[in-house]
Each structure stands twice: as C-alpha cells, then as structure tokens.
Amino acid sequence: MATETATTTSWVIDPTHSEIQFKVKHLVISTVTGSFTQYEGQVESVGEDFTDAKISFSADISSITTGNEQRDGHLKSADFFDAESFPKLTFTSTNLTKTGDDTYNLTGDLTIRGTTKPITLKVEHGGIMQDFYGQTKAGFEAVGTIKRKEFGLTWDGVTEAGGVVVSDDVKLVLNIQLTKQA
C-alpha cells in the first residue's frame, strides 16, 4: 500500500485586497486609525487546512499613514517607530490553535523597534473562493491589542489638564486576503 505524502501549500498576501490597521485612543475621547500601505506576508500549510500554518509578515514603517502628514512624520520619528533605525516591523507565528469552526488563536513573536514580544490575535477565517482569474483566495480577519510602551514606543504627552495624549493600548485589525501559489 502506497503512503500518501502531504503537500505543502504556499499562500501570499494580496495587498490590493488586504488592510493592515491600528487604532489608538487620542486624548482618551476619540480613536485615531492608521495603516501600513507597504507590507508582505507568507503562509505555509500542509494541504489547504490552516491548522498547522506557519505565518510570517513584515510591514515597512515608512509606509505608515493616518491621514495627517505631520502626525505620520512624528510616528516615523525616533519618538515612536524610529523608521530610520528600524525600517520594518515583523511577525512570525509560533502557534495557531483552532477555537471554533472558523476561528483560531494565533500566537507569534512581534518585533517593533528591535523589541520582540509574544502576542496573540483572534482570527476569523472568512472562507476560500476562486476569483475571476482562477486564483484560489482565502480570507481572514485578525484582531488583538498590544501595549505600545512594551515595544519601545514610549513617547508620552500630557495635556494641561493632566490627560493622556496617546493611549498605551493599540488595537490591531488585519483584514487579509491570501492568494494560493501554484
């Protein structure tokens, strides 16, 4: 009886159908949303099941945008991300645990400003479909929260009334569409 060997399936992020966003409270009363416009990521799995997926991702710090050029410049400066010294943030998965029919907990190492910390994201798998060009696509949404100060983003501002300008908590929201590689 012949044994069947498992085939590795490779996927890459489709940047035209994906969004990498973060949300942070400003003055504790409103939320500012930012995103990275230049990024790449790969997923390797056995077959088309993602339960054993190995995931890697990076984003170019210089591509950060919040819709305000002055704020973007401040975020790229040494006060925050220090894009000149640390041009990329990276994520490498360490574990993907199925928590429901289409949900997972994704744990991995996030590196920002040369500091690496483990994080966990809640992931929802939207499904797999073929597009108009015959390419196989897979959709995911991942959310989680990190503490920016743990990654060296320690700049603080305080208002005259003693209020915090930028929250320590940063919500991550990633809507990812993957393209299966031939």
| Residue pointed to by tokens 């809640």 | 122
pLDDT at 48: 65
Residue type, 12: V
Percent of the chain with pLDDT over 90: 59
Domain 8-180 sits in CATH 2.40.128.110:
yes
For residue 23, give both structure tokens.
């949300």
Q: Which residues have C-beta within 8 Å of that of residue 165, sequence separation ≥ 6?
A: 26, 27, 156, 157, 158, 159
Q: pLDDT tens, 114-170?
A: 999 999 999 999 999 998 889 999 999 999 998 888 887 776 654 454 444 567 788
Task: Give the model's pLDDT for residue 96.
Answer: 92
Report DSSP state, residue 164.
B
pLDDT at 81 over 70: yes
Q: Is the dihedral of CA 32, 35, 41, 45 positive or negative?
A: positive
Mean pLDDT, the chain, rounded, equals 86
Partners of 95 in the beta sheet?
107
Beta bridge partners of 139: 127, 177
Residue 85 pLDDT more than 70? yes
The residue ranges of every structural domain in the chain are 8-180
pLDDT per residue as tens digits for the range 88-106: 999 999 999 999 999 999 9
| Residue 61 CB-density burial (10 A; 0-12 exposed, 13-18 middle, 19+ buried) | buried
Global confidence as pTM: 0.87
Spacing of C-alpha 137 from chain mean position = 18
| pLDDT for 162 | 45
What's the mean pLDDT in 17-26?
Answer: 85
* Residue type at 79 in one-letter notation: D
Chain segment 1-16, per-residue pLDDT in tens: 555 556 888 999 999 9
Does the CA dihedral 173-45-112-151 come out positive or negative? positive
**Cα–Cα distance between 27 and 179 in angstroms, integer?**
39
